Amino acid sequence: MNSASVPAVSVIIPAYGVTSYIAEALDSVFAQTYTDFEVIVVNDGCPDSAGLDAALCPYLDRIVYVKKENGGVSSARNAGVRVARAPLIALLDGDDAWTPDYLAVQTEFLRKHPQTDIVYSNGVLFGDSPLAGRLGMDLSPSHGEVNFESLVSCRCSVMTSVLARKAAILAVGGFDESLRRAEDFDLWVRVAHAGMKISYHEQAIWRHRHRNSGLSADAAAMREAGLAALEKLSRTLSLSVAERAALAKAQQTFRADVIYYRMIDALQANDAAAALSELRRLLRARWRLKFALLGIGLRFAPQLTLRMADRRPRP
């Protein structure tokens, strides 16, 4: 880490509910083969602030430690961006980690692709989840060019950890602090709409901790948050006819997904009546033969259907 001059990269780590994991995240940063960076940890009104302070104590001479009242992850990241000295911003969640070559790979990508404003990569999921060991891009793949339409349709999904040019984040006003979930999705869509370039590659160079208690664990709530972001974007962006059509189609898909995941939650709770109610709504929104067959099973043989139902399908 270069402290004598302006660093090339500012690593921003929001901290709320990650006291048990923050040391692992920081160790992965300080193990980087690329060393021209500063580290900014933002305590976002953590309820266990004393515990977080203790966890950070061994690192205080190597980090910029910002404390603020709780405002959500968008507020914490914006606070980090405001104090960042570097022209490049690397985002890392406090319970995730990087492989030692993460910054070397990402900075080299931007060097070779000067037209790219934001780059994301593949990664491996770990933690207390059946998804541990899976690749992020296996679960949320990216196909083709990243643009407004491919983002709202989820044909391209920006991964958790990115390296971004600070100017690109500032150009669209940073993260929307009114959003507590889907705030990154909202930002990437605004960046793409503004004409800036987002790129990706498939090298797995970060580790994403999948926690059942994390913000991303509730699939229905995440889709609801994504829908709220889409509705906000439809009100606030000046959209072409094609963009508005793509956004409207995405809203329809997200609404159906919310119903679908509520149905899956009911199936997991062995609540056949609630699952059937959500399934009827889903069939009205998105008719599919497999859903119709599931409805027949729930109506005439609910216990057998509940035992046989796939608990982790996607619509």
Task: Specify whether 207 is located in the same domain as 226.
Answer: no
Question: What domain count does the chain have?
Answer: 2
Q: Are 153 and 274 part of one and the same domain?
A: no
Residue 265 lies in a domain: yes
What pLDDT score was predicted for residue 91? 98
Same domain, 190 and 64: yes
Over the stretch 135-175, which tens digit does the pLDDT of each residue have? 999 989 999 999 999 999 999 999 889 999 999 999 999 99
Asked if residue 183 is part of any domain, the answer here is: yes
Query: In this model, does residue 58 exceed pLDDT 80?
Result: yes
Is residue 118 one of the residues assigned to a domain?
yes
Predicted pLDDT of residue 285 = 60
Q: What does the pLDDT read at residue 306? A: 53
Q: How far apart are CA 9 and CA 165, in angstroms?
A: 9
DSSP strand pairing (37-44 vs 97-98):
unpaired
Kindly state the average pLDDT of the residues 3-16.
91
- How does residue 4 score in pLDDT terms, banded at 50, 70 and 90? low
Question: Do the domain assignments include residue 3?
Answer: no
Full residue range of the structural domain in which residue 227 is found: 220-308
Based on the fold, state whether residues 180 and 233 are members of the same structural domain: no
Which CATH number fits the domain that encloses residue 204?
A: 3.90.550.10
The average pLDDT across 271-285 equals 70
Instruction: Give the end of a domain, one of 188, 217, 246.
Output: 217
Does position 305 have pLDDT exceeding 80, yes or no? no
Average of per-residue pLDDT across 208-237: 80
pLDDT, tens digit (0-9, with 9 covering 90-100), for 248-268:
999 988 888 888 788 777 777
Q: What is the DSSP string of the chain?
A: ---SS--SEEEEEEESS-TTTHHHHHHHHHT-S---EEEEEEEES-TTHHHHHHHHGGGTTTSEEEEE----HHHHHHHHHHH--SSEEEE--TT-EE-TTHHHHHHHHHHH-TT-SEEEEEEEEESSSTTTT-BHHHHS---S--SHHHHHTTSS---S-EEEEHHHHHHTTSS-TT-SSSHHHHHHHHHHHTT--EEEEEEEEEEEE--TTSTTS-HHHHHHHHHHHHHHHHHHS---HHHHHHHHHHHHHHHHHHHHHHHHHHHHTT-HHHHHHHHHHHHHHS--HHHHHHHHHHHH-HHHHHHHS-SS---
pLDDT confidence tier of residue 215, bands split at 50, 70 and 90: very low
pLDDT at 216 over 50: no
Q: What is the pTM of this model?
A: 0.84
Q: What is the pLDDT of residue 252?
A: 86
The pLDDT tens digits of the residues spanning 92-133 come to: 999 999 999 999 999 999 999 999 999 999 999 998 878 889
Residues 206 and 135 in one domain: yes
The mean predicted confidence, pLDDT, of the chain is 87
Same-domain status, 185 and 293: no
* Stretch among 2-6, 43-47, 178-182, 302-306 having the lowest mean pLDDT: 302-306
Domain membership flag for residue 260: yes
Note whether residue 315 is domain-resident. no
Question: Could you tell me if 112 and 159 lie in one domain?
Answer: yes
pLDDT exceeds 70 at position 308 = no
Same domain, 107 and 152: yes
Which is more confidently placed, 300 or 94? 94
Are residues 108 and 147 located together in one domain of the fold? yes
The model's confidence at residue 299, banded by pLDDT at 50, 70 and 90, is: low
pLDDT on residue 312? 42
Domain boundary among the residues 196, 217, 238 is at 217
- Domain identity same for 213 and 224: no
CA 142 vs. chain centroid, Å, equals 14
Nearest to 94 by CA among 165, 38, 44, 36: 44
Confidence class for position 1, pLDDT limits 50, 70, 90: low
User: Could you tell me if 248 and 164 lie in one domain?
Assistant: no
Q: Same domain for 200 and 278?
A: no
Q: Is residue 2 part of a domain?
A: no
C-alpha–C-alpha distance, residues 164 and 9, integer Å: 9
Q: Is residue 79 part of a domain?
A: yes
- Work out the average pLDDT over 79-93: 98
Domain's final residue, options 202, 217, 232: 217
